[in-house]
Amino acid sequence: MDATHRSEARVSREEPVGRRSVSEEVADHIRERVFLGELRDGERVPQREIAQSLGVSSVPVREALASLKREGVVTIEPNRGAFVNGLDADVVREQFYIFGRIYGFAARKATERADPDVLAALSELARRIVAETDLDAMIALSIEFQMRIVDAGGSKRLRALFAPFSRIVPGNFYDTIPGSAEVTRERIVALARAVERGRPDAAEAECWRLIDEIGELVAQRFRDGAGDPARRVE
């Protein structure tokens, strides 16, 4: 199944009507094509073709591009259109580095605040993540763990910064990036333990390790040519 058909299926099936807007689905489609190398650095985003392939009007495409501009995925030039800011190994490592530091700061603050309900929830989520073998279920648990940390340790502004970095890799992260599930299980346990023991320095450092190691796995995918459609095996 090619990227267009995958995205069409996602628009029609993945989320119940009303939970996500059409423009958010279009943005996911564009992110996926950028990640897969189907839209390359400096290339104009084919807005009409995207609208036709997804069966939507031009309005949600423009809305999606405005959102992607805020994330740094595209640059919009007046009277010329939207142009891709492509991904490569260096850009990926840079983005994950920043993501890890934001996440780490939230973990530090959550540890310092030491809300008993948050600590108990994180410990339980860590236990379930380690035990979970279904990757779809594991990604849901991992997202819940992340958001517990960010909600407990971050301001609204920090949460707004956090969101775009969590969308770098489309689809189920653990399916897409080999080895990432194993890294997550190991590091989540250490992170939850540091938070539970009231060690903010250690909690922050474990976040850095977790995100840096995963970022390196994603960067390696690009170094191996997995983001190049000409070298990818379907």
Please write the tens of the pLDDT for every residue from 40-63. 999 999 999 999 999 999 999 999
Q: Which string of DSSP letters, residue by residue, matches 17-51?
A: BTTB-HHHHHHHHHHHHHHTTSS-TTPBP-HHHHH
pLDDT band at 12; cut points 50, 70, 90: very low
Instruction: At 94, list the tokens.
Output: 């840079």
193 beta partners: none
The kind and range of the H/E element at 76 are strand 74-77
Distance between CA atoms of residues 194 and 110, nearest Å? 11
Residue 72 identity (one-letter amino acid)? G
Quick one: pLDDT at residue 10? 40
Contact between residue 135 and residue 175 where contact means Cβ atoms under 8 Å apart:
yes
The pTM for the full model equals: 0.78
Quick one: fold of 89-223?
A: Four Helix Bundle (Hemerythrin (Met), subunit A) (1.20.120)
Contact between residue 45 and residue 33 where contact means Cβ atoms under 8 Å apart:
no
Beta-carbon neighbour count of residue 159 at 10 Å?
A: 15
Q: Using alpha carbons, select from 104, 82, 86, 101 the residue that is nearest to residue 36.
A: 86
Quick one: pLDDT at residue 29? 94
* DSSP structure class, residue 155: -
Domain boundaries, the chain: 3-84, 89-223
Distance between CA atoms of residues 109 and 149, nearest Å? 9
Q: Using alpha carbons, select from 197, 118, 199 the residue that is nearest to residue 153.
A: 118
Contact between residue 107 and residue 191 where contact means Cβ atoms under 8 Å apart:
yes
**Architecture of the domain defined by 3-84:** Orthogonal Bundle (1.10)
> Looking at 8-22, 49-63, 178-192, which range is the least confident one?
8-22
